[in-house]
Structure 1
Amino acid sequence: MSREIDYGNLMHRAMRGLIRNVLDDIAANGLPGAHHFFITFDTSHPDAELADWLSDRYPGEMTVVMQHWFDNLDVGEEGFAVTLNFGDSPEPLYIPYDAIKTFVDPSVEFGLRFESTEEDSDDDLEPLEISDEPIEQDAQTSADKKKKAEIVSLDSFRK
């Protein structure tokens, strides 16, 4: 019986662990400096929790912004909960890590994109393009105003 190392899934788990570590730090210490996050997630994921009006408005995916105002950030093993403001209406969300499609911190030009296929592969993490333009909570970044971000390799985190 032949056995293979599944680098694609291992990389996905590592990158989702990185997101969890970042959110843990933010929950404990707040957002430092100009850091902020654009998080795009699959609203139809079976474990995602959001208001009906949000899932109706965004039936496939939604990009949320964690920047000036967010509350009740609770980081767990499988996902995180946060309350965000949508047009003066605070709404609680629960976003499983495996529902995340993109995670971007434009203040340092860092971005991750998770591609989902039948079987994850090494090519599933692609460079992500990000915009310098500020976006509103329910807006998407425009493709014509984007620039490339660099994907950080795990080697850069080793001591």
Structure 2
Amino acid sequence: MTVRLVYETHATTTDNEDGIATGWLPGRLSDLGRRQALELGERRREDGLDTVFVSDLHRAVETARLAFPGGVPPIRQDVRLRECDYGVLNGSSAALVAARRTRHIDEPFPGGQSYRQVVAATSAFLRDLVAEWDGASVLVIAHSANRWALEHLLTGKTLPALLADPPPWQPGWHYTV
């Protein structure tokens, strides 16, 4: 049983541009982000996608809806694809959250969750994905924490290494699950 998974992060938000760590807050795409979402749709239009799974946070849903107007391929929201919940730090400085990331691998952010909890949610999503979408080509649009979780689960990279020195953004990552 295998699934071809393409992963994309949501497009740029006003919070990204302002240096804010949105966490579980909804967030909104900026003008640049709306253009990026359209580009994502163009980039993936010929990929033969069977479906798109997306975080239920507004910025990810907005990205998917702009990329694939009319819901073709079908867009499915999944709460397990949410960004890490920074708890009391949702909406705070991105630099502050970045500086504290490695402290919250196993220990949740105050009032939030740990990166290990994001990995567990992503792992549960992948189990269901393989069981329900065997042989399919799937796009996932979510957040940086989910990308790190996928790298950890599917390539064996360690969470401490990923959180201390995150890989740079690129237009999509390809996995076989």
TM-score, normalisation: structure 1: 0.28
TM-score, normalisation: structure 2: 0.26
Higher relative contact order (CA 8 A, sep 6+): 2
The structure with more strand, counted as a fraction of residues: 1
The structure with more helix, counted as a fraction of residues: 2
